[in-house]
Amino acid sequence: MNFTLHIWRQKKSDATGDFVTYNIDHIDEDTSFLEMLDQLNEQLIDKGEDCIVFDYDCREGICGACSLVINGYPHGEKKATTTCQLYMRDYKTQSELWIEPWRANTFPVIKDLTVDRSSFDSIIQSGGYVSVQTGSAPDANSLLVDKVSADEAFNSATCIGCGACVAVCPNASASLFVAAKVTHLSLMPQGKIEEQDRAQRMTDQMETEGFGSCSNHRHCESVCPKGISVSNITKMNKILI
């Protein structure tokens, strides 16, 4: 398989970036998307050129670090999938690919395809703590949680904080990310005590960081690799009210 790649290159945050075109040939269909970029980097290094900087860690769809927009779709067009879980066979009908970083002022480019997402860390830190007694571990099932709440809390907790919701939102809103973190704790007995204060602090920090407001476009839900529902935003708004 042969591909023409248009990749965003930018030396640093305050530099002017642009797309640079590369051709890469003889890619096996079972090669992962990130492995394809690794192969391209090997070619660039052999030529004495600066390799393309992109982010990744687990390569198992767990950490959310592989933040790439591929042909206009965060993490690519395939549903419920992170970039590291994509294979080149997914693009066997597309020989030309446009690859760029998350596009949001709150995620400034560090270099090439890597962005600074420390604004998410600030939001998490603003949430504070959960009031629980310290000491030895409690007996199993000593805190009863109904199955519906447990299932909903788990679904919200699967958010990996990748930022795809911000990258696709016309307002660059982090509401889906914040709502997932707020609601998964509020559904648990341990998180009930501070739920209103936590929601207020985290939404205030979201605004301080410069993220926009939710206006119900719902693009965030459609590109989320973990399928986080916008119903979390509804729950968060009810807590705030």
Write the pLDDT tens digit of every residue in 68-123. Answer: 999 999 999 999 999 999 999 999 999 999 999 999 999 999 999 999 999 999 99
pLDDT at 46 (0 to 100): 97
Sketch the domain layout of the chain as residue ranges.
Answer: 3-100, 117-240
| DSSP codes, 138-201 | PPTTSS---HHHHHHHHHHHT-----HHHHH-TT-B-HHHHHHHHHHHHTSGGGSTTHHHHHHH
Q: Give the whole-angstrom CA distance, residue 236 versus residue 1.
A: 46
70 φ/ψ angles, rounded to the nearest 5 degrees: -115, 115
Kindly state the average pLDDT of the residues 38-66: 96
pLDDT score of 200 more than 80? yes
**What does pLDDT average to over the chain?**
95
**Which DSSP category does 84 fall into?**
G
CB hemisphere CA count around 197 (13 angstroms): 9
pLDDT at 142 (0 to 100): 78
pLDDT score of 30 more than 80? yes
19 φ/ψ angles, rounded to the nearest 5 degrees: -80, 135
pLDDT bin (cut points 50, 70, 90) of residue 140 is confident
Q: Give the whole-angstrom CA distance, residue 17 versus residue 212.
A: 24
Class of domain 117-240: mainly alpha
207 by DSSP, 3-state: which?
A: helix
Pairing of the two strands 18-24 and 114-115: unpaired
pLDDT bin (cut points 50, 70, 90) of residue 141 is confident
pLDDT bin (cut points 50, 70, 90) of residue 144 is confident
3-100 maps to which CATH number?
3.10.20.30
pLDDT at 166 (0 to 100): 98
Determine which of 84-88, 106-110, 187-191, 236-240 has the lowest per-residue pLDDT on average: 187-191
pLDDT at 137 (0 to 100): 75
pLDDT at 189 (0 to 100): 87
